[in-house]
Amino acid sequence: MPVVSGSGLPHDDGRRDSLHHRERLRRKITEQLRGRIGEEDIIAAGPEKRIRVPVKGTRHWRFILDRDLEKGVGQGEAGPGDVIGPPGGRAAPGDAGLQPGEELYEVWLDMDEVEEMLFSELRLPRLKPKQAADTQAQHVLFDDIARHGPQVDKKATLRENLARNAREGRVHLGGIEKPDLRYLSYREAPIPRHKAVIFLAMDVSGSMEADRKRMARLFFYWCVQFLRRRYEQTETVFIAHTTDAREVVEEEFFSRTESGGTRVSSAFEEIERIQRERYPAEDWNVYVLHVSDGDNFTADNARTLQLVERMTRFCALVGYLEVDPYRRGAPWGRGSYKLSGFYAERAADLDGFVFACAEEDRDLWPALKRLFAADEVEAALR
């Protein structure tokens, strides 16, 4: 029969493959974004803007001749000397999004999407239940498996069947019986209480040069963006310190430079005072983030550590980033005169305290990951 209906071959797999394609695209975009969080233009784009992300990883590489010298043949009425739009009948004039032939080269993303992609790997640190609200804030998660229920979990059932068959000496699926059946089930999970206050403390002494401040700004930006997405309400408090600390407004925070030395404890004392007065720990998730170049008065280190320890008792997280773009100290090293060295020696195991160093922009993502790491139990489960 020379004309037949249907092909008898699998035919609805196009959608499956295109989903795989999207997943891959997404993964590669995320990879590239991570390398770019140190770039200021992402932040400069602002929350409503869209940013352009080159997706090099998705191109289908092959050897071709120098594109600029390419000669070709086309069809139409144009005469010698006429300059006309890009080749390829489909591309609209001026559409630079498509490279010769086929592949998507750049995509535009909303800041929203960018953040979702990046933040999907970050976790909130240990949460302490907050008084007022938790009784009502329950969240139903369908991620459990039970032996009874209305809706069969096919995957779990097949797994169970496979395991039972294996136990009984058969290495295949099939013969599903009642004991194999597994059902979807749910559990109630508390939603993190909705309010967070973020104390951003920065060293504004003369040694914090423009480059270091820029990194501090990037770091604060991403931390605050991340926390904003996880809480319904966030407040930020900016604390500038040299040997003294005081609360400032955001613009001043990044622009001012003062002479003088550095006494980190002054900032932490100020934070404790403000927190006590305005943000009672029963109602607020408290975050303290501190950035400096690590040149603290050695005599102040003990006092600083004492305050850090005290803060971890009521804070969800105390974080410290040492920006040292010119590799002046030897961060991490024991006995280093830098603050990070001191912390490494004395506070490495302090629960609720995380510190990291960044020499260049590309160290910012690892630093963020250190701060907002999936906790160990969760990591082990994944």
Q: Which of 44, 48, 84, 174 is the binder for other proteins (CB under 8 A)?
A: 84
CB 360 to other proteins: min, Å: 17
When asked if residue 72 is in the footprint of other proteins (CB under 8 A), the reply is: yes
φ, ψ of residue 143 in degrees (nearest 5)? -135, 25
When asked if residue 82 is in the footprint of other proteins (CB under 8 A), the reply is: yes
When asked if residue 76 is in the footprint of other proteins (CB under 8 A), the reply is: yes
When asked if residue 64 is in the footprint of other proteins (CB under 8 A), the reply is: yes
CB atoms within 10 A of CB 327: 9
CB 100 to other proteins: min, Å: 10
CB 135 to other proteins: min, Å: 43
136-141 CB contacts, 8 Å cutoff, 24+ apart: 137/190, 137/191, 137/193, 137/194, 138/188, 138/189, 138/190, 138/191, 139/188, 139/189, 139/190, 139/191, 140/186, 140/187, 140/188, 140/189, 141/186, 141/187, 141/188, 141/189
Q: Which of 32, 35, 38, 69 is the binder for other proteins (CB under 8 A)?
A: 69
Q: Which of 48, 75, 172, 349 is the binder for other proteins (CB under 8 A)?
A: 75
Q: How many residues bind other proteins (CB under 8 A)?
A: 62
When asked if residue 251 is in the footprint of other proteins (CB under 8 A), the reply is: no
Q: Which of 46, 54, 88, 261 is the binder for other proteins (CB under 8 A)?
A: 88
When asked if residue 96 is in the footprint of other proteins (CB under 8 A), the reply is: yes
- From residue 15 to residue 54, what is the string marking binding to other proteins with x (rule CB under 8 A)? xxxxxxxxxx--x---------------------------
- From residue 111 to residue 150, what is the string marking binding to other proteins with x (rule CB under 8 A)? ----------------------------------------
CB 101 to other proteins: min, Å: 10
When asked if residue 174 is in the footprint of other proteins (CB under 8 A), the reply is: no
CB atoms within 10 A of CB 232: 12
Q: Which is nearer to other proteins, 6 or 174 (CB)?
A: 6
How many whole angstroms separate alpha carbon 182 and alpha carbon 167?
18
280 in Cβ contact with 272 (< 8 Å)? no
Which 231-250 positions form the footprint of other proteins (CB under 8 A)?
A: none
CB atoms within 10 A of CB 210: 8
Token pair of 173, please? 């699926």
CA distances to 69, 121, 365 from 50, rounded to whole Å, are 34, 21, 21
The region of 73-81, 314-322, 323-331, 362-370 touching other proteins under the rule CB under 8 A is: 73-81
57: DSSP letter:
G
Q: Alpha-carbon torsion 165, 166, 167, 170, what sign?
A: positive
CB atoms within 10 A of CB 245: 23
Closest CA to 185 of 161, 137, 153: 153
Q: How far is CA 298 from the centre of its chain?
A: 34
Q: Which is nearer to other proteins, 120 or 131 (CB)?
A: 120
When asked if residue 74 is in the footprint of other proteins (CB under 8 A), the reply is: yes
How many whole angstroms separate alpha carbon 297 and alpha carbon 299?
5
- Residue that the structure tokens 């092959």 belong to: 62
CB 78 to other proteins: min, Å: 5
When asked if residue 164 is in the footprint of other proteins (CB under 8 A), the reply is: no
Q: Which of 40, 41, 47, 56 is the binder for other proteins (CB under 8 A)?
A: 56
Q: Which of 41, 47, 49, 102 is the binder for other proteins (CB under 8 A)?
A: 102
CB 56 to other proteins: min, Å: 7
Contacting residues toward other proteins, per CB under 8 A? 1-7, 9-24, 27, 56, 58-90, 96, 102-104
